[in-house]
Structure 1
Amino acid sequence: MSPRNLPEPSFARTRLGTGPGLLLAHGAGSSLANTYGPILEGLATRHTIVGIDYPGSGDTPRSTTPLSVDDLADQLVAAADAEGLDRFAVSGFSLGGSVAIRTAARHPERVTALVLTAAFPYRDNRLALASSVWRKIAASGDRELLAEFLIMVAVGTQVLESMSSEQLQETLRFAAATAADGSPEQADLVSRLDVRDDLAGIKAPTLVISTTDDWVTSTALHRQLAETIPGAQLAEIATGHLPMLERTDEWLQLITDFLGKHNT
């Protein structure tokens, strides 16, 4: 068990499936269901899935104070404890990738593998600008404008340009309806994040999945993760920032193949 004193688990959590433990850390402005929903059943056929919703996502109340990646990582492990998981792989998407990295850094004896998708070790200039605009729009309460911004930057070029006007409007309505209430705080955390000092000490086998048409997190950030984490593997997927929508089956296959090779 981890020697760290963990907090009481206070975030809404989900448990599914049977098999080796797999923790899921979702993206900013989203939720566990919206990040991993399309592949949850596929993951749960081989793993005991435990995931949390950050403050302001899902059923977790919004935070009145700035978020901390340490707190998110410790809450993820506290949820694993509450569900009886001692050791586990961790899959993190975007902001969740940084949460997964910090989880492995703070609880190395418990993490058996990492899968980092569209993840980043810190915010580069593009991500700093995007997270600032994102936070301000989200704080304004204009959900339609927020949806337009998010779809413009998050959906890959090929998929976006293949949409009919009706499909685009439907996608915008969905994005507006499902944006997390805690988006301002979560986007603020993105703007402050820096887990670069954690990378060289990661011991767990790691797969970095690079989303190659991503306007939110750049392929340079993905490569930095793969080049700095010892022994990390790099896989590419031809998608924008949303592989769960654009390349669902391919994303699931990459994750399950890697975890299967490491018996986790």
Structure 2
Amino acid sequence: MSTDIGDIAIVHDDHPACGVNAGVPVLLLHGAVQTRAVWAGQVEALVDRHRVIVPDLRGHGATPLGGERLTIDRMAMDCLALLDRLGIGRFAVCGVSLGGMVALEIAARAPDRVTALVLANTPRSLSGIGWVRRLVDWLDPQRLLHPTFHILGQARTARIGLALAARLVGPFWVGRDARRHFIAGFRAMSPDAIVATYRAIVESRPLDLGRIHCPCLVIDTLHDATTIREQAADIVAEAPNAMSVVLEAGHVANLDNPAVFNRVLAEFLAVPGRN
């Protein structure tokens, strides 16, 4: 289904809770160049107790890019507008990677509405090191994507990027299912949306974690990039009510290790006060 939220209609799935003792609704947010399809296994695990809302973020899947500049803030405001239109007041939110960055912004913007926050493989920004951020800002690597797409094609660009990541980060950084979703996203998304997505990540700056007061679960993984694992530790150290768990998985934990991810997620949300 789709819901008008301003300059776009955001496409989303809305799964009603099957059980009689339903907890708060849960919003699931996918990563960069993915779609809501990555959450199929989590929807099945949650719908017995929760209404589950799963959108395609702006520019991803079936949701158009629209005319607004794509930023983490913009995606957070989109999600809050969607929940408003659906008549949802209080809710829990779970995001992976880019989706976690958006979830953090939602929790900071609407602290009275977010009952629980789950962040999987989530950086606070592209890098926590100031000079690295300044270097990336100066290089503006996103400007290279359009000519690369023109020469190599989008799917081949994705495969080359994954091969480089396997060498730089490690062979288990992107699992088989995550790789499939990533390549499909690169093949299907418009070049402008891909460039805008990565520019939004590059331009993002670390959020003040003192603003995050709800219970927060940080899902760290053994095979994620070192910088993301370090930032996960920062979130746990600085957010007032954060805790962490480490899974055997790569950068997309819900796809790499869905059984354990689902158990950890359901147990966290089942605690009184979070549901």
**TM-score w.r.t. length of structure 1:** 0.82
What amino acid sits opposite 1:203 in the alignment? H
- Equivalent residue for 1:4? none
Offset at residue 133 of structure 1 (A): 5.4
Q: CA RMSD in A?
A: 3.0
In structure 2, C-alpha distance between the alignment counterparts of 1:261 and 1:113, rounded to whole Å: 10
Offset at residue 43 of structure 1 (A): 2.1
For residues 148-176 of structure 1, the C-alpha deviation after alignment (integer angstroms, 9 at most, x for no partner) is: 3136537963587xx9xxxx7x9866643
- Contact 2:120/2:252 (8 A) holds in 1: no
Matched, 1:66 2:63: no
- Contact 1:23/1:91 (8 A) holds in 2: yes
In structure 1, C-alpha distance between the alignment counterparts of 2:181 and 2:102, rounded to whole Å: 26
1:226-245 map, 5 Å: 226-245=236-255
In structure 2, C-alpha distance between the alignment counterparts of 1:195 and 1:41, rounded to whole Å: 33
In structure 1, C-alpha distance between the alignment counterparts of 2:179 and 2:114, rounded to whole Å: 37
1:100-111 map, 5 Å: 100-111=103-114
Offset at residue 51 of structure 1 (A): 2.5
1:82-161 map, 5 Å: 82-124=85-127, 136-137=144-145, 140-141=148-149, 142-143=153-154, 144-150=156-162, 152-153=164-165, 157-158=171-172
**Secondary structure of the structure 2 residue equivalent to 1:12:** strand
In structure 1, C-alpha distance between the alignment counterparts of 2:15 and 2:50, rounded to whole Å: 8
**TM-score w.r.t. length of structure 2:** 0.79
Offset at residue 110 of structure 1 (A): 0.6
Tell me the percent identity: 27
- Equivalent residue for 1:257? 267
Matched, 1:22 2:26: yes
Give the number of equivalent residue pairs: 248
Question: Is there any run of 5+ residues in structure 2 with no aligned partner, and where?
Answer: none
In structure 2, C-alpha distance between the alignment counterparts of 1:151 and 1:10, rounded to whole Å: 35
With over 3 angstroms needed to count, the CA separation of the structure-2 counterparts of 1:58 and 1:171, relative to structure 1, is: closer
